[in-house]
Amino acid sequence: ERGIGRLIREGERSFSFEFMPPKDPAGEEQLWQAIRELEPYRPTFVSVTYGAGGSTRDTTARITGRIARETSLVPMAHLTCVGHTRAELEGILDSYAAAGIGNVLALRGDPQDGPRADWLPTPGGFTYACELVELAAGRFSVGVAAFSEGHPAAESLESDVRVLLDKQRAGAEFAITDMVFRSSDYLGLVERAGRAGVEIPILPGIMPILNLGQVRRMAELSGRDVPPDVVARVAAHEGDPAAVRAEGIAMAAELCEALLDGGAPGLHFYTLNRSRATREIFAALRISA
Ligand code: FAD
């Protein structure tokens, strides 16, 4: 049984790595190099995101299926409701099952203009991730998204965790957060979620800052700003890219330690299809392959 919900519940600490579908053959080579370099760390699972547009959408099933067939890793494929009818989503879930994929991260997805833009459901499709959780639960071990500072469009932090509770009731077995910048944000989420009745494990998402340009991109991706004190620590090394990177890795390692000390059931790394930063953080945490 390689259902991730159970692996997290029954294992010690969960470590996982997230990849993106590559856009071209060079990207695919880079992705496989990262997978091979991270495989020796024996993560609990690895996941492959579901792209918002065009050809990359089939790539998720292809890459995730190949991970299932050709590596020792437990893979999970993401899936979003964007632009799909219910029948199409059923078809994609069928293709995941046929490729030997037993784990799905069920998401709503974002409008093309980003997480803060108005969301318009596809006719015949789903309005909320919760409905996709219901569709996939039973056949797959289903994970869902959680938000360390609340989803940017959530009415309140309390309604944000009620959504997480709905996902749990619909059959979600675990949750993964967006990028966490401060351990207090994650611990606050866990506390709120617990008070609301959420019992599924919540894994914090980790993405180290490796250069200053990335800070803006992180904000665009997550729909919220990187906290000024976090930016200031790396910005202090502006003009010295190696020092910026080293500070970013050191900060991520400190964050990981604080999260685990605070009781996080594991760590989920956004790798951007490269292994080096994750390996550096593991070295700082004294975790070896
Ligand atoms: P939902 O749970 O549907 O929530 C969306 C909004 O609706 C929230 O504001 C919520 O509060 C509100 N809401 C939900 N239910 C109700 C209700 N019943 N009544 C009123 N309001 C409600 N995106 C991709 O495109 N591809 C990916 O592979 C991908 N992977 C991700 C992985 C992780 C770990 C995370 C954290 C995010 C990922 N995303 C991905 C981004 C995600 O799709 C967006 O964050 C999206 O805006 C929210 O998705 P959700 O599944 O949480 O949606």
Tell me the β-bridge partners of 16: 45, 268
Interacting residues of 113 by C-beta distance below 8 A, sequence separation 6+: none
- In the block, tokens 């990177």 appear at 245
Is there a contact between 257 and 19 (Cβ–Cβ < 8 Å)?
Answer: no
**Residues pairing with 75 in the sheet:** 46
- Tell me the CA–centroid distance for residue 265 and ligand 1, in Å: 22
Is there an atom of ligand 1 within 6 Å of 153 CB?
A: yes
Per-residue pLDDT of the chain (289 residues; tens, 9 = 90+): 589 999 999 988 999 999 999 999 999 999 999 999 999 999 999 999 998 555 568 899 999 999 999 999 999 999 999 999 999 999 999 999 999 999 999 999 988 777 778 899 999 999 999 999 999 999 999 999 999 999 989 999 999 999 999 999 999 999 999 999 999 999 999 999 999 999 999 999 999 999 999 888 888 877 788 999 999 999 999 999 999 999 999 999 999 999 999 999 999 999 999 999 999 999 999 988 7
Distance 23 CA to ligand 1 centre (A): 24
User: Pairing between strand 103-107 and 141-146?
Assistant: parallel
Mutate-to-test residue for ligand 1 from 128, 149, 273, highest number of ligand atoms within 8 A of CB: 128
For helices 183-196 and 157-169, what crossing angle results, to 10°? 60
Any atom of ligand 1 within 6 Å of the Cβ of 47: no
Q: Is 207 in the pocket of ligand 1 (CB under 6 A)?
A: no
Is residue 176 in contact with ligand 1, taking CB distance under 6 Å? yes
- Counting from 1 in the atom list of ligand 1, the atom nearest the Cα of 205 is 34
CA dihedral sign of residues 65, 27, 147, 153: negative
CA distance 105 to 133: 8
CA of 80 to the centre of ligand 1 (A): 9
Active site residues: 18
What crossing angle do the helices spanning 212-222 and 228-235 adopt, rounded to 10°? Answer: 160
Q: Give the rounded distance of the alpha carbon of 86 from its chain centre.
A: 23
Q: Do the Cβ atoms of 18 and 271 come closer than 8 Å?
A: yes
Ligand 1 center to 132 CA (angstroms): 11
221: closest CA among 129, 132, 152, 133?
152
User: What is the ipTM score, two decimals?
Assistant: 0.99
For the CA of 129, the nearest atom of ligand 1:
3
